[in-house]
Amino acid sequence: MTLLERIKERAKQGKKRIVLPEGAEHRTLRAAEILIKEDIAQIILLGNPEELLSAARDHNLSRIEKATIIDPRSHPDKEKYIDLMVELRKHKGLTRTDAERLIEDPLYLATLMIKAGDADGEVAGAMNSTGDVLRPAFQYVRTKPGISVVSGAFIMILKDREYGEDGILVFADCAVHPDPTESELAEIAVATASTTRAIAGFEPRIAMLSFSTMGSAKHPMVDKIINATRIAREMAPDLQIDGELQADAAIIDTIGQSKAPGSSIAGKANVLIFPNLECGNIAYKLVQRLAHAEAIGPVLQGMAAPINDLSRGCSVSDIVNLVAITASQASRE
Ligand code: ACO
């Protein structure tokens, strides 16, 4: 069974309620048809029910009728969500009039449904930018206890099985937080450990990456990685983590042994934490393209409930896979 097949199986067992705010979008509708057929999650589509069902009929998508379809303009619990919005954001100056307008935006409604316990997770982004998907999530779903920053991991499946965990490595942060502080970097490592267990299904061995290995260079950027490693160990004493390590010392056994003798992670890392978003985003794209690796993600982590962001160039199967990942996160976290 491939990793994606295992993720889908786990999702099927959990039967979580996943809300798709871009309900009338054609790839989303096709993905919903497959998700319902394969029984991967309970699907909630947001949008005008008449338009949505008529589009489904036009495309011969007969199972869409089995989804829960909600019109953001007339949700029966609209007042409850407006109250919740005002309660959560009045300290930021949100008025009831603002909330009455925002709740009709499907991206806001989806996060309020999750906050109120009426949905377990969300997938969006087929027609909205990352910022527009994440902002309501940051504001209303917020982060898990002990975590202040949301980040994005990629599960990289390499053709060469010699590296990581039988050819699988988890990279973070590749998607969200541009310039983390040392304590935020530590949180990203701890959150990535949870994602690795929940989604990739193995025990993480984390390398905190740098351009230096165990003091080979002296620079404030190196100090930041050393401090982040110490903070991560304080946050999660059982974590298998080491740093600072260069990428080759992290993943190649002989180099790890010569540059970082005595490290139990050097040469054996299956999770790579990058110093910032520039490094992480560039690295995952280079590995994806030059090494022809499969990149699954970004899996957003650190949020109090699973919310994942699609690329606007996504395919129907990208949506199906990300819903399965989201449902699997909802089952395991
Ligand atoms: N984790 C948790 N909360 C956050 C985070 C975060 N990473 N970033 C911002 N917030 C919160 C803020 O604390 C603030 O909360 P508040 O309103 O309660 O005070 C709220 O979100 C808004 O904060 P802003 O600083 O105004 O955030 P903004 O909306 O401008 O930016 C965003 C957030 C869009 C995620 C920004 O960090 C960003 O653009 N990141 C890069 C995304 C990107 O382009 N990634 C690369 C492409 S993805 C890919 O290639 C796969």
The two three-digit tokens of residue 34, written as one number = 């497959």
Tell me if 134 CB under 6 Å of ligand 1: yes
CB 144 less than 6 A from any atom of ligand 1: no
What is the tally of helices (H) and strands (E) in the chain? 13, 11
288 CB near ligand 1 (under 6 Å): no
Q: Does 109 share its domain with 159? A: no
Among 107, 134, 177, 284, name the best residue to mutate to test ligand 1's pocket (greatest count of ligand atoms within 8 A of Cβ): 134
Span from the CA of 47 to the centroid of ligand 1 (angstroms) = 26
The residue whose CA has the least distance to atom 33 of ligand 1 is 131
Is residue 237 located within the same domain as residue 310? no
**From the CB of 27, is ligand 1 less than 6 Å away?**
no
- The alpha-carbon radius of gyration of the chain (Å, integer) is 21
> Are residues 171 and 251 part of one domain?
yes
Each residue's pLDDT tens digit, 106-141: 999 999 999 999 999 999 999 999 999 999 999 999
Strand order in the sheet with 17-20: 68-70, 42-46, 17-20, 121-124, 307-309
Contacts of 145 (CB under 8 A, 6+ apart): none
74 and 164 co-located in one domain: no
Q: State the pLDDT at residue 333.
A: 63
Protein residue whose Cα sits closest to atom 17 of ligand 1: 139
Residue type, 127: M
On whether the CB atoms of residues 326 and 110 are closer than 8 A, the answer is no
> CA-CA distance, 260 to 255, in Å (whole number)?
8
Tell me, yes or no, whether 274 and 325 share the same domain: no
Go through 20-47 and write b for each residue having 16 or more CB atoms within 10 A of its CB, e for each that does not.
bbbbbbebbbbbbbbbbeeebbbbbbbb
Query: Within 10 Å of residue 220's Cβ, how many Cβ atoms?
Result: 6
pLDDT value of position 67: 97
* Whole-number average pLDDT of the chain: 95
Q: Is the CB of 155 under 6 A from ligand 1?
A: no
| Residue range of the domain that includes 208 | 151-296
Pocket probe for ligand 1: among 128, 130, 138, 301, the residue whose CB has the most ligand atoms within 8 Å is 138
Is the CB of 150 within 6 Å of ligand 1?
Answer: yes
Give one DSSP letter per residue of 28-63, joined into a string: HHHHHHHHHHTT-SEEEEES-HHHHHHHHHHTT-GG
Mutation to probe ligand 1, out of 88, 90, 98, 130 (largest number of atoms < 8 A from CB): 130
Q: What is the pLDDT of residue 27?
A: 96
Using a 6 Å cutoff on CB, does residue 298 contact ligand 1?
yes
Q: In sequence order, what are the residues at sequence separation of 6 or more whose Cβ sits closer than 8 angstroms to the Cβ of residue 157?
A: 3, 167, 168, 293, 294, 295, 296
Q: Are residues 31 and 117 in the same domain?
A: yes
Question: If residue 232 lies in a helix (H) or strand (E), which one and from where to where?
Answer: helix 220-235
- 56 and 130 together in one domain: yes
CATH of the domain at 214: 3.40.50.10750
- Specify whether 130 is located in the same domain as 193: no
200 and 89 fall within a common domain: no
Using the atom order of ligand 1, give the atom closest to the CA of residue 139: 18
- Residues of the chain with pLDDT below 50 are none
Question: Are 271 and 235 within one domain?
Answer: yes
Here the CATH number for the domain that contains residue 138 is 3.40.50.10950
What total number of domains does the chain contain? 2
